[in-house]
Amino acid sequence: MLTVSGDPAIGDETVSGTDKQSEEKPPFNDILIPTDGSGAVWEEIKRIRPIGSLCRGTVHALYVQPKGSQQRDQLRSDPMEEAEETVAQFERKLTRDGLQTTTAVRSGMPAEEIVRYADNEGIDLIVMVTHSESPMGILGKSVTEKVFNRSSVPLMALTR
């Protein structure tokens, strides 16, 4: 059994295993963490650090630039450049924590690209931060719900 303890608000969480197998060998080779580049990026990183310790391979940070997202992107000079910087920040933070990390930026429909990336890269776990505050609404009409319904890869949904 794995347990998470500590204060996630300050990034002071630890993951511990109570059986010998989980202590010797983390249960996942590759974990995918999609991000949308919102202001919650740093909160996501704080909450993901302990989950990263469950990974014996690579933590993948993926940013999907939605097609047709003109309204949000009109104020940006280069949305893809911003996406690259977002995943680079993820990589720097997680690498400092001793996690092997890789990044990718895709363009398309977020849920479809997340599922495609997970399948193509042999991902064992997808970890997504959802904006829902209600436990019943965690999977409600969101990218998280679409990924959950379309992917064969286990999904861990974290509420903000």
Average pLDDT over residues 53-71: 78
Calpha distance 42→54 (Å, rounded): 20
Give the three-class secondary structure for 39: coil
Question: Above 60 in pLDDT, residue 76?
Answer: no
pLDDT of residue 62 exceeding 90: yes
With 60 as the cut, is the pLDDT of residue 49 above it? yes
CA dihedral 83, 41, 156, 12 (to 10 degrees): 150
Confidence of residue 118 (pLDDT cuts 50, 70, 90): very high
The predicted-structure confidence for 82-96, as pLDDT tens digits, reads as follows: 889 888 988 888 888
Read off the pLDDT band of 17 (50, 70, 90).
Answer: very low
Mean pLDDT of all residues belonging to the chain: 75
The dihedral through the CA atoms of 96, 83, 141, 137 has a sign that is positive
Fold entry, domain 27-159: Rossmann fold (3.40.50)
1 pLDDT exceeds 60?
no
Q: How far is CA 83 from CA 63, 86, 117, 138, in A?
A: 6, 5, 16, 25
Q: Return the structure tokens found at 115.
A: 């599922």
Cα–chain center distance at 113: 13
Q: Which amino acid is at 150?
A: R
- Residues 128-155: tens digit of each pLDDT: 877 655 444 444 468 888 999 999 999 9
Q: Is the pLDDT of residue 24 over 60?
A: no
